[in-house]
Amino acid sequence: MLIVDDDTIIRITLRSLIDWNEFGYCIAADAINGQQALDYIRNNHVDLVITDMKMPVMDGVGLLKEINKEQQIPEVLVLSGYDDFNLVRDSFRYGACDYILKEGLTQEALISVLERLDRKNPAEGKGSQAEDHSKNSRSDSVLLAEMAMGKQPVSGKFLSQDYLVIQFEIEDFYKVSVRFGDNYEEALIKPFFDLAAQIPRVASRCILGTLAPSRFLMLYRINDTVQYEENAVSACRQLCNVWKHFMNLTVSGGVSSPGHGENDFLDCFEEAGRQLRLCPLKGKGTLSAPWVKKSVAYEDVKNTGDSYKKLLRGLLLGDDLMVSGEKSRFIGELYRIGLEEGKEMCLRLICALAWEFSENHDDITAIFPEAVNYYEKIGRMEEIRILELWINNYFRWIMDYHTHQSDRKQMDMMSRAKRFILDNYANPELTLKSVAGFVGFNEKYFSTRFTKEEGMTFINYLTQVRIRKARELMETTDLKIYEISQSVGYNNVEHFTRVFKKNWGVSPGNYRK
């Protein structure tokens, strides 16, 4: 198996998430972009590639295109973000076998995909996938989801009248998912669908499909062309209330503009996803639709984020110097465009910041103890100077939050590092570099931080762990000294004896006596 991702944390997570040997795989290598992966594949045998979509030099789609030109074609499992659905669809066109959302990269999700691969007929060719998964043998729910994700061509089977596409997302999914155990299908998805089927107007005119355990889509057939907007939003709110009341799940939704026929379906699906990404401005458990007045537009948020990328980056890094200069530019623009346009620009920037939080596996709502509807909050401001004061305070809240988070993450990093040492002290190859790599820091920084936090160097800490374990073995077992030496990570018994005596004042043999 070959891991391809430019994110160090993702590569480390994939390595340690499951026991790969148990599933018949060994990790051959890592690559940080598609070109590096392709070079490896051309010179080595690879059965499975797990690849990110967005990478420098060559992205995931480019890698898939090139792999298809090779004589030996491995299976390819795609890692995707919620905003990468276009790339995922392209990946299926070029032969990807499945995908996992990065936000959903759990042990259960990975095992589920590997089990599906294990059940797959080895003789099955990539080109026969459409025939084997005949539309006639699929439920409407599965077909809808596979059309959206590009696993199946779009069919006009249930697209003959006007419709809306809605994407739903379970908020804080990886906090609440533990309630459902390993079997999402039975414990989560089935009751999720069963509850929807209890609502007559949903059952009669809607089809619900699953994109991922935390992401769903719904096709809403329009019967009343006059009141469809109100009726669709009302049905979605009823669904979200039912899921909240009976399953304690907070669900947000994004609604598309009307579509008709198969040619509009993918555009509507993408628009629903874009609307869903605007929900952070209203808060969790809300709906976003394109016809709501005074709502920000997805493209405007994207453009504002691009214009103030440096400001967003500075806020995320807690870099006062970077924020200071960019903040002055932003405030100056507020005064130039005036109060009303300035309010909208603040909304667009906050939404872009929420996206940045999500990219960093964080949650912008965690900054405040209570839910905030930014449309209402900013809409009440009646003077430009009040808006300036509020946005200045908002930037400071962000900076303070990340300072706190950074301190917490440093503590988490040390805990993870020490746990890794305790789990791997018996490995003679355990080094400062390998532990630093596991927690995602460079060797020099980790060494300095470890010494500062623990009051001793990494090598002294590792030695203490090994000697303590050796003492326990001497006190509780009849193992020979050379066997104990090997059990705690020392291949050379003479070296072990010297280290033990230096740390404990007596030789291992005398200690045992």
Pair 282, 206 in one domain = yes
With a pLDDT cut of 70, the percent of the chain lying above it is: 92
Among residues 58, 65, 60, the alpha carbon closest in space to that of 87 is found at: 60
Q: Please check the confidence at residue 374 and state whether its pLDDT lies above 80.
A: yes
Same domain assignment for residues 206 and 119: no
Same domain, 240 and 318: no
Angle made by CA atoms 20, 5, 112, in degrees to the nearest 5? 40
Binned at pLDDT 50, 70 and 90, residue 121 comes out as: very low
Q: Which of 108, 132, 156 is the last residue of a domain?
A: 132
Instruction: State the greatest distance between any 2 C-alpha atoms of the chain, in Å, as a whole number.
Output: 92
CB 97 within 8 A of CB 76: yes
417 falls within a domain: no
Is residue 415 situated within a structural domain?
no
Domain membership of residue 293 (yes or no) is: no
The residue that leads in pLDDT, 150 or 125, is: 150
- Asked if residue 490 and residue 468 are part of one domain, the reply reads yes
**Spatial contact of 450 and 414, defined as CB atoms under 8 Å apart:** yes
121 shares a domain with 146 = no
- pLDDT tens-place string over residues 180-192: 876 778 888 999 9
Question: Do 487 and 363 share a structural domain?
Answer: no
Percent of the chain with pLDDT over 90: 50
pLDDT in tens, 305-316: 999 999 998 888
pLDDT at 122 over 50: no
Q: What is the mean pLDDT of residues 354-369?
A: 79
Task: Write down the mean pLDDT value for the chain.
Answer: 86
CATH (domain of 269): 3.30.70.270
Choose the final residue of a domain: 113, 132, 151. 132
Kindly report the CATH number assigned to the domain that includes residue 97: 3.40.50.2300
Q: What is the pLDDT of residues 481-513, one digit of tens each?
A: 999 999 899 989 999 999 999 988 999 999 998
| 211 inside domain | yes
**Model confidence at 100, in pLDDT bands (50, 70, 90)?**
confident
Name residues whose C-beta falls within 8 Å of residue 104's C-beta, 6 or more positions apart in sequence. Answer: 173, 174, 212, 213, 214
Same domain (yes/no): 92, 145:
no
Q: Is the pLDDT of residue 87 over 50?
A: yes
Strands (DSSP E) found in 39-111: 48-52, 75-80, 98-101
Whether residue 363 sits in one domain with residue 324: yes
Instruction: Mean pLDDT check: name the lowest of 97-111, 274-288, 372-386.
Output: 97-111
Does residue 277 sit in the same domain as residue 315? Answer: no
Q: Are both 399 and 284 inside the same structural domain?
A: no
Question: How distant, in Å, are the alpha carbons of 115, 459, 466, 469, 500 from that of 463?
Answer: 41, 6, 5, 10, 9
Residue 418 lies in a domain: no
Confirm whether 420 is domain-assigned.
no
Number of domains in the chain: 4
pLDDT tens column, 195-217: 999 999 999 999 999 988 889 99
Contact of 91 with 117, CB cutoff 8 Å: no
Each residue's pLDDT tens digit, 231-262: 999 999 999 999 999 999 999 999 999 999 99
Q: What is the CATH number of the domain that holds 444?
A: 1.10.10.60
Same domain, 119 and 188: no
Q: Which of 132, 150, 167 is the last residue of a domain?
A: 132
- 255 forms beta bridges with 166
Does 432 reside within a domain? Answer: yes
Q: Do 283 and 312 sit in the same domain of this protein?
A: no
Q: State which residues form the domain around 398.
A: 298-405
In a domain, 358, yes or no: yes
